[in-house]
Structure 1
Amino acid sequence: MKFILFISLLISIIFNANASNSYDTKDVSKFIDYMAKKHNYKKNDLRNLFKNIKEEKKLKKFFKKAPERRLTWNGCEQNEKQCINYKSLFVTDHNIKNGKLFIDENYNNLKKASEIFGVPEEIIVAIIGIETRYGKNLGNFKTFDTLASLSVGPNKGRRAKFYRTELENFLLLCRENNLDPSSIKGSYAGALGKPQFISSSYRNYAIDFDGDSYADLWSSNADVIGSVANYLEKNGWKRDGLILTDLVINNNEKTLEMLSNKTYKPHTKYIDYANMNLKTSLAISDNEKLSVIKRLEGQSNVYSFGHNNFYTITRYNRSRLYALAVFTLAQEIKMASQ
């Protein structure tokens, strides 16, 4: 028994020593010097943070090279293992039911945020549902350790510069809000709270919406709601603007396919689409710029015009499929709440 305990202790010592050695590098020293010079951060405090990092074995599996997966809206074959259907992953009975419940429990704050920022309540709720299942999946990775590993540590890769900036913002966020950087947890990529803001977004877009002088994206649904709405509004959301409008189907399938492969950022005026006999039954300004968005529903392709607000959703997560999931889940939640 004593021998087993000795071996366990020895392994622990070796593991911790290796973890510490991973951060005894020039990159770490440069970062500490930078934070001290630019932000007057105490070097000893930073050294202690790096010294106490414990390597998270699970982190590596998220970033190691995995088999390439096909991402689709609704087009995976029945036995296709390396394929992800966004629709079945996010637009679920569970997310719809709990989205309705979230609206019922947070009605006043959602209404207030919608009135101030012009973002529909169901869009705010859908984003929170997709990001963390309405706060049930916040992530269990230590954020400082994660960002350090990805920026100046053993998991540093091609996005090291991005994560270094996020590590800087995370430390400033903690200092500004009197948070202990060694105790904060989030996703494997460093996203925080119920809306999964990265640290720079937290500092730039999180707001105090409940009047307690602190933007709390972990515990305050009011702050979460206000911050998501503020993020979208600051990134171009247009009050009362359209998101997706279905095209009137014609015989231009090849043209539609070609147009749908272009960027999802609105780029072509409606009048130019109309001249190609691509129209919608809704009244749209001739000069409004649109994109063409394709999705598979059942056995048929559905084509829609993507408006500015569709593109704005992709500023939250740069993915056409993500924006489709938010829009579709929002519509389902809205219908369930009526």
Structure 2
Amino acid sequence: MKILSKLLPPLLFATLSLGTSAHTSDSKLASEEASALALKSEFLQTQLALGFSEKEVETFLATAKFDQAVIDAMTKPWEAKPWHQYHPIFLTEKRLNAGLDFWKEHEVTVSRAAKEFGVDPEIIIAIIGIETFYGGYMGNYPVIDALYTLGFYYPPRATFFRKELSNLQTLTKEERLDINNLNGSYAGAMGFGQFIPSSYRHYAVDFDNDGQRDLLNNPVDAIGSVANYFHQHGWVEKAPVAIPLTMSAGLPSDIQVWAGERIHYQASDILSPSVSLAESIDLDISQPALVVELEQELSSDYWLGLNNFYVITRYNRSPLYAMAVYQFSQKLKKAHDAL
């Protein structure tokens, strides 16, 4: 009973211990908690295999609590909005001006990161701006609560988030982070660039060489880490990202709008007499490509997404997110070049 009582919230443990279920809701609650208990036991074994002691795991989980707000936010993401409602949230003059100020303040660091990792500087600035408004909104959810809730009580992606919870325990040990003062998004992302624990561990860099990879308080490390993330995922400097399409008819029946899968088309598969580029550009039509649909109020716009567009979606799988980052980056570049 020791592990059972430690891993379950007291009220829910009492419900299970009594074994009473007068109502359907009680039965459902008991079933969910029984499932969560089994997953927590598996999690314990996983962490033991990584070298943590049973006491360390129990102490780690004891600091976490279920948060219904996390589930609510996960089931109603901004990316579920149509494009005409989504993009005005991010492509604002206020964010643009903040981005230019951030770029100016960290000009040397951004230039060094762009050169070292081969990533266009406007993309680095755009990501940090879209994610946290340059550190202004890093999230108020305790990271451990978010990952605990999603890892044990959100079946659609529970396996993924339990892995992130596992990475979080390792990360806090590696980087000496205070788990009790670690806040982020409802999905457990944190810092200027909103890295989930596994990304923090694998892609964060100590860009100012002070001995710590600090993405929570250090914009220099954040800039270098965002650049490294894009480099590691295959960004090609100065290569096109996305190009608007003109269509005289609908998409060919054998071409589907991109929905998160790996790229399996070439540009030559998509372009045809009825589907053409809206602007003249010298393009290698043998390169990987996808079709992005942006839902407007009365119709849809279509874009040809290329490798770099796909790389942005490695940061966030949503095509709307990737397009917002790209379009914002272009506004940033134009304004910055004009300074």
Q: What's the TM-score, normalizing by structure 2?
A: 0.80
User: Structure 2 matches for 1:243-282, cutoff 5 A?
Assistant: 243-247=241-245, 249=246, 251=248, 253-255=249-251, 259=255, 261-262=257-258, 266-273=263-270, 275-276=272-273, 278-280=275-277, 281-282=280-281
Q: Do residues 92 (structure 1) and 92 (structure 2) align?
A: yes
How far apart, in 2, do the equivalents of 1:142 and 1:151 lie? Answer: 14
Q: Do residues 190 (structure 1) and 183 (structure 2) align?
A: no
Q: Deviations over 1:9-38 (max 9, x none)?
A: xxxxxxx743787799343333223312x1
Which of 164, 179, 182 matches 1:181? 179
Distance 1:169 1:275, change over 3 A: same
Give the drift of 1:290. Answer: 2.3
Q: Do residues 18 (structure 1) and 39 (structure 2) align?
A: no
Identity of aligned residues (%): 33
How far apart, in 1, do the equivalents of 2:43 and 2:123 lie? Answer: 39
How far apart, in 2, do the equivalents of 1:30 and 1:213 lie? Answer: 34
SS of residue matched to 2:291: strand
Give the drift of 1:312. Answer: 0.7
Q: Do residues 129 (structure 1) and 129 (structure 2) align?
A: yes
Q: Deviations over 1:224-283 (max 9, x none)?
A: 111111111111111221101234x463x3237984624575543344555535444111
Q: What's the TM-score, normalizing by structure 1?
A: 0.80
User: Structure 2 matches for 1:67-86, cutoff 5 A?
Assistant: 71-74=81-84, 85-86=85-86
Which of 44, 58, 65 matches 1:47? 58
How far apart, in 1, do the equivalents of 2:288 and 2:146 lie? Answer: 40
Aligned residues: 308
Give the drift of 1:174. Answer: 0.9
Which of 195, 198, 201 matches 2:199? 201
Distance 1:93 1:298, change over 3 A: farther
Match of 2:69 in 1: 58
Give the drift of 1:214. Answer: 1.4
SS of residue matched to 1:25: helix
Judge conservation of contact 2:83–2:295 (CA < 8 Å) in 1.
yes
Q: Return 5+ residue gaps in structure 2 as ranges.
A: 1-8, 15-32
Q: Return 5+ residue gaps in structure 1 as ranges.
A: 1-15, 75-84
AA aligned to 1:328 is Q
How far apart, in 2, do the equivalents of 1:141 and 1:70 lie? Answer: 21
Match of 1:27 in 2: 39
How far apart, in 2, do the equivalents of 1:100 and 1:190 lie? Answer: 28
How far apart, in 1, do the equivalents of 2:79 and 2:302 lie? Answer: 24
Q: Deviations over 1:151-175 (max 9, x none)?
A: 23xx342211111111111111111
Distance 1:172 1:250, change over 3 A: closer
How far apart, in 1, do the equivalents of 2:305 and 2:77 lie? Answer: 31
Judge conservation of contact 2:289–2:304 (CA < 8 Å) in 1.
yes
How far apart, in 2, do the equivalents of 1:58 and 1:274 lie? Answer: 44
Judge conservation of contact 2:265–2:290 (CA < 8 Å) in 1.
yes
How far apart, in 2, do the equivalents of 1:67 and 1:123 lie? Answer: 23
Which of 234, 237, 240 matches 1:236? 234
Distance 1:298 1:330, change over 3 A: farther
AA aligned to 2:290 is S
Match of 2:286 in 1: 287
Give the drift of 1:191. Answer: 0.8
Distance 1:92 1:256, change over 3 A: farther
